[in-house]
Amino acid sequence: MDRRFLVLHGWQNHRPAGHWQWLLTEALRAQGEHVLYPQFPSADDPSQAEWTALLRAELAQLGSGERVVVAHSLGVWLWLAVAGTLTADERVDRVLLVAPPSAEVLAGYPEVAEFARVPLDPAALARGAASTRLVASDDDPYCPGGAASVFAGLGLDVDVLPGAAHLDLDAGYGRWPAVEAWCRDPSTRLTPRA
């Protein structure tokens, strides 16, 4: 199958080699998959306009075949901001949204507060992708109340992982076999890292 992946990192993420997104990219490429994993500019003080421009450029280079986006943390809000504005040619087949922070938490940080102003619109999300899944922890410090509740209005298929915090390196999320399996087969449920 001809698949194309676009991996979107979050705030203050400089693509460390041990992070699950880095390892996912390496694993998929080793299997012959086409994967784009761009470093967004000014990761510590991001501009939504700059990040949006790069996301659109990467989507233009993603090519044809099955198009899959895997977004973590602030990358989720970037996707939420752009999904509803995509043309039919830019639309992707499926998206995995991982550990999104709540808008209230984002609004408390001046560096990323502009991302928090994106409306949570299920119709806009559906225009961006044929299928979207959310995976989050039940104790993410950046999403009090839990992402399953906070983002319930989007009507997404959700996997909740117990005690996995922000699903990042600090939470022990280096290699994550379940996300690799989901990339190959979208019916795979996301489970905690062993």
User: Between the CA of residue 131 and those of 44, 97, 158, 186, 193, what are the distances in Å?
Assistant: 30, 11, 12, 9, 23
Q: Is the pLDDT of residue 1 over 90?
A: no
Distances from the Cα of 192 to the Cα of 168, 172, 181, angstroms = 12, 10, 12
Give this prediction's pTM: 0.98
Q: Which CATH number fits domain 3-184: 1.25.40.10, 3.40.50.10680, 1.10.760.10, 3.40.50.1820?
A: 3.40.50.1820
177-184 and 20-30 helices, crossing angle to 10°: 50
| Whole-angstrom distance, CA of residue 51 vs CA of residue 94 | 20
Whether the CB-CB separation of 125 and 89 falls below 8 Å is answered with no
The one-letter amino acid code at 106 reads L
Residues 69-91: pLDDT tens digits?
Answer: 999 999 999 999 999 999 998 99
Predicted local confidence at residue 119, as pLDDT: 94
pLDDT of residue 194: 75
Summarised one tens digit per residue, pLDDT across range 128-164 is 999 999 999 999 999 999 999 999 999 999 999 999 9
Nearest to 75 by CA among 18, 3, 4, 20: 20
Percent of the chain with pLDDT strictly greater than 90: 98
Cβ within 8 Å of residue 188, ≥6 positions away:
178, 181, 182
Owner of token pair 């939420």 = 80
Tokens, residue 104: 């209230």
What are the residue ranges spanned by the domains of the chain?
Answer: 3-184
Structure tokens of 98? 């991982």
Q: How far apart are CA 23 and CA 58, in angstroms?
A: 20
